[in-house]
């Protein structure tokens, strides 16, 4: 069936960059876009005029939360170490435990995928917290996630997260690494099996990627085999890197390299690598190694930095700076990383923080919009995503511009960035399938999802108290904003 969508604004693609088309049209048949412009001359089976709205490409979230909102447990409650956010030595000796049942683990993804689509995200590379698990993700779990993604209709890059160690807190408060190479290699074997079985499922909407956990929890043997598997399969690889001073100094002490230097020595810095978050690199004033070696590595290798400004800004951290990295040639994509899955908020805050770090506004809303669309597509090696153009996949979003809060709409991208939210997305199509209409994700029951998530998060809260230093009562570490009256 051929469908024609029209609106006051369309974000088209001229072969090099996005362009704005007032009174534009987008026509697609099945999963592929046929036409973007005005005055489509052919017959159509269905017409939808969205009026005061912006039709654009779906966002590509390179670090999408596939989890419940565990940030709500820690927000304004003090340092994570005191909250059981990190395993204590005593808890590790008792043995790490899963907070959730296998069914509850899968529910997290159903809840999260619904949130992502609701916020205009059509392609997601999910991430979940390893803090609530006995170890990492498994093949069986990710097979279940693939089934949920196929049912809901989101375009997803999936793969079980694997790690060969974890960070724990000694009794004196210092941090150390606990290693288990066998588990790391078993996780990598699960990843290889998942690639073989699931890459290309659901008409290509389900793709595989390699998802080793953060760099300080990896052994050289596991990462060396990751390099071999990535070269063999040519799937993308995402590895959280340069996201804390602790990580930088720990890797430097253990491996004799900065995190990026170590990845380079292993052969992991390639155009197929996606690195959230790229903040703490050599030359950063808070790390012990100066110089611009790491910046040169980012540029020369062609890796993509997945920029997630909101989650870091909550703790007073920011990339220094987006415009500086961009000017030197670093490739950027965007991620949300936390709840809410609001890419619009990340674009807005990223633009604000970049200006703040620079002392002036150098990066533009357009720069961040490109990163959230074209940059993500480039990172995945997918020139048919992140744009509205003939031959591209029909991953299309409709951003509603009727809201009084948006003010005057002289430029839809600027209006969205200044005053919009992810909740302003009205409709979404993925591979031509209408997965959201009238602000509602197809097949979802928000009340049911919310009630189940509210009940499940209490299990995560309980495990914090069980592994926090001295094992305090839940009420001691999760304080309300104000006194709660009886």
Q: Identify whether residues 111 and 250 lie together within a single domain.
A: yes
CATH of the domain at 406: 2.30.40.10
- How many other CB atoms are there within 10 angstroms of residue 248's CB atom? 27
Give the list of residues 6+ apart from residue 268 with CB closer than 8 angstroms, or none: 223, 226, 227, 230, 237, 239
Record the tokens describing residue 258, joined without a space.
């900065």
Cis peptide before 277 (omega within 30 of 0): yes
Residue 225 has pLDDT above 90, yes or no: yes
Is 350 inside any structural domain?
yes
Overall number of domains in the chain: 2
Is 457 inside any structural domain?
no
Strands (E), 294-439: 304-307, 331-334, 396-400, 425-430, 433-437
pLDDT digits (tens, 9 = 90+) for 313-360: 999 999 999 999 999 999 999 999 999 999 999 999 999 999 999 999
Q: Identify whether residues 179 and 98 lie together within a single domain.
A: yes
Cross-strand pairs, 32: 29, 393
Give the pLDDT confidence score for residue 131 in this predicted structure.
84
Give the pLDDT confidence score for residue 394 in this predicted structure.
98
Give the pLDDT confidence score for residue 78 in this predicted structure.
75
The DSSP element (H or E) to which 29 belongs, if any, is: strand 25-29
Q: Which of 334, 330, 343, 332 is nearest to 308 (CA)?
A: 334
Q: Identify whether residues 241 and 357 lie together within a single domain.
A: yes
Q: Identify whether residues 438 and 324 lie together within a single domain.
A: no
Cross-strand pairs, 123: 60, 155
- Identify the burial level of 100 via C-beta atoms within 10 angstroms of its C-beta, where 0-12 means exposed, 13-18 middle and 19 or more buried: middle
Record the tokens describing residue 71, joined without a space.
């940030």
- Identify the burial level of 17 via C-beta atoms within 10 angstroms of its C-beta, where 0-12 means exposed, 13-18 middle and 19 or more buried: exposed
Is 477 inside any structural domain?
no
Give the pLDDT confidence score for residue 89 in this predicted structure.
85
Domain end, chosen from 362, 383, 404, is at: 383
Q: Identify whether residues 10 and 144 lie together within a single domain.
A: no
Domain end, chosen from 356, 383, 410, is at: 383
CATH of the domain at 237: 3.20.20.140
pLDDT digits (tens, 9 = 90+) for 179-209: 999 999 999 999 999 999 999 999 999 999 9
pLDDT digits (tens, 9 = 90+) for 172-183: 889 999 999 999
What does each C-alpha distance from 32 to 272, 379, 384, 389 come to in angstroms? 25, 21, 9, 9
Give the list of residues 6+ apart from residue 423 with CB closer than 8 angstroms, or none: 118, 119, 342, 439
- How many other CB atoms are there within 10 angstroms of residue 80's CB atom? 16
CA atoms within 13 A on the CB side of 19: 12
Give the pLDDT confidence score for residue 435 in this predicted structure.
98
Give the pLDDT confidence score for residue 86 in this predicted structure.
81
Q: Identify whether residues 94 and 65 lie together within a single domain.
A: yes
Instruction: Tell me how far apart the alpha carbons of residues 136 and 161 are, in angstroms, rounded to a whole number.
Output: 6
Q: Identify whether residues 75 and 152 lie together within a single domain.
A: yes
Give the pLDDT confidence score for residue 76 in this predicted structure.
83
Give the pLDDT confidence score for residue 329 in this predicted structure.
98
Interaxial angle between packed helices 220-233 and 181-198, expressed in degrees from 0 to 180 and rounded to the nearest 10: 10
Q: What is the dihedral of CA 190, 192, 197, 202, to 10 degrees?
A: 100
pLDDT digits (tens, 9 = 90+) for 462-474: 887 777 787 778 7
Q: Identify whether residues 113 and 159 lie together within a single domain.
A: yes
Domain end, chosen from 352, 367, 383, is at: 383
Is 215 inside any structural domain?
yes
Residue 94 has pLDDT above 90, yes or no: no
Is 206 inside any structural domain?
yes
pLDDT digits (tens, 9 = 90+) for 262-287: 999 999 999 999 999 999 999 999 99
Is 469 inside any structural domain?
no
Instruction: Tell me how far apart the alpha carbons of residues 424 and 447 are, in angstroms, rounded to a whole number.
Output: 19
Give the list of residues 6+ apart from residue 375 with CB closer than 8 angstroms, or none: 60, 304, 331, 332, 333, 334, 386
pLDDT band, residue 216 (cuts 50/70/90): very high
pLDDT band, residue 362 (cuts 50/70/90): very high
- Mean of the pLDDT values across residues 431-449? 97
Q: Identify whether residues 342 and 425 lie together within a single domain.
A: no
Dihedral sign from CA coordinates of 287, 288, 290, 292:
negative
Q: Identify whether residues 197 and 289 lie together within a single domain.
A: yes
Give the pLDDT confidence score for residue 472 in this predicted structure.
78
Which DSSP letter does residue 256 get? Answer: S
Residue 234 has pLDDT above 90, yes or no: yes
- Identify the burial level of 129 via C-beta atoms within 10 angstroms of its C-beta, where 0-12 means exposed, 13-18 middle and 19 or more buried: middle
Contact in structure between 112 and 338 (CB atoms under 8 Å): no
Characterize 422-442 residue by residue with b for buried, 16 or more Cβ atoms within 10 angstroms of its Cβ, and e for exposed: bebbbbbbbbbeebbeeeebe
Contact in structure between 278 and 321 (CB atoms under 8 Å): no
Phi and psi at residue 354, in whole multiples of 5°?
-60, -45
Q: Identify whether residues 429 and 284 lie together within a single domain.
A: no
Cross-strand pairs, 27: 4, 35
Instruction: Tell me how far apart the alpha carbons of residues 238 and 106 are, in angstroms, rounded to a whole number.
Output: 21
pTM: 0.97
- Mean of the pLDDT values across residues 236-254? 96
Least-confidence region, from 46-55, 90-99, 410-419: 90-99
Is 149 inside any structural domain?
yes
Is 310 inside any structural domain?
yes
Q: Identify whether residues 351 and 419 lie together within a single domain.
A: no
pLDDT digits (tens, 9 = 90+) for 45-92: 999 999 999 999 999 999 999 999 888 888 888 777 777 778 888 888
Please, what is the end-to-end C-alpha distance for the chain in angstroms? 60
Residue 114 has pLDDT above 80, yes or no: yes
Give the pLDDT confidence score for residue 421 in this predicted structure.
97
Range of the domain at 280: 59-383
């Amino acid at each position: 069936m051929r469908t024609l969508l029209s609106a006051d604004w369309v974000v088209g693609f001229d072969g090099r960059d996005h362009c704005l088309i007032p009174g534009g049209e987008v026509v697609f048949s099945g999963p592929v876009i046929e036409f973007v412009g005005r005055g489509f001359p052919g017959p159509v089976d269905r017409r939808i005029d969205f009026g005061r709205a912006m039709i654009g490409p779906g966002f590509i979230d390179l670090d999408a939360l596939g989890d419940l909102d565990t940030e709500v447990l820690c927000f304004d409650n003090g340092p994570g170490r005191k909250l059981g956010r990190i395993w204590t030595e005593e808890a590790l000796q008792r043995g790490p435990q899963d907070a959730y049942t296998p069914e509850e683990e899968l529910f997290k993804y159903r809840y999260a995928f619904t949130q992502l689509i609701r916020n205009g995200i059509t392609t997601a590379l999910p991430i979940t917290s390893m803090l609530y698990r006995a170890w990492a993700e498994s093949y069986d779990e990710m097979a279940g996630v693939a089934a949920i993604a196929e049912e809901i209709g989101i375009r997803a890059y999936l793969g079980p997260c694997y790690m060969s160690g974890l960070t724990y807190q000694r009794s004196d408060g210092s941090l150390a690494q606990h290693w288990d190479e066998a588990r790391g290699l078993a996780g990598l074997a699960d990843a290889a099996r998942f690639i073989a079985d699931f890459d290309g499922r659901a008409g290509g909407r389900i793709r595989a990627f390699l998802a080793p956990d953060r760099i300080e929890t990896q052994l050289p043997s596991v990462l060396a085999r990751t390099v071999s598997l990535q070269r063999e399969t040519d799937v993308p690889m995402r590895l959280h890197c340069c996201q804390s001073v602790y990580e930088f100094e720990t890797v430097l002490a253990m491996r004799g390299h900065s995190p990026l230097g170590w990845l380079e020595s292993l052969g992991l810095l390639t155009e197929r690598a996606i690195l959230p978050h790229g903040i703490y690199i050599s030359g950063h004033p808070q790390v012990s190694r100066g110089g611009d070696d790491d910046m040169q590595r980012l540029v020369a290798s062609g890796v993509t930095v997945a920029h997630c400004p909101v989650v870091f800004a909550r703790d007073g951290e920011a990339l220094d700076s987006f415009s500086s990295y961009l000017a030197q040639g670093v490739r950027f994509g965007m991620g949300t990383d936390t709840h809410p899955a609001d890419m619009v908020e990340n674009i807005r805050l990223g633009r604000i923080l970049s200006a703040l770090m620079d002392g002036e506004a150098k990066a533009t809303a357009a720069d961040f919009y490109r990163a959230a669309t074209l940059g993500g597509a480039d990172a995945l090696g997918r020139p048919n995503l992140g744009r509205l153009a003939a031959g591209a996949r029909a991953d299309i979003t409709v951003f509603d511009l009727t809201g009084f809060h948006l003010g005057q709409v002289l430029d839809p991208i600027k209006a969205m960035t200044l005053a919009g939210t992810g909740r302003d997305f009205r409709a979404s199509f993925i591979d031509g399938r209408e997965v959201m209409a009238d602000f509602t994700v197809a097949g979802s029951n928000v009340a049911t999802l919310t009630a189940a998530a509210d009940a499940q998060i209490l299990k995560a809260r309980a495990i914090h108290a069980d592994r926090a230093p001295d094992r305090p009562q839940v009420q001691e570490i999760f304080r309300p904003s104000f006194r709660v009256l009886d």
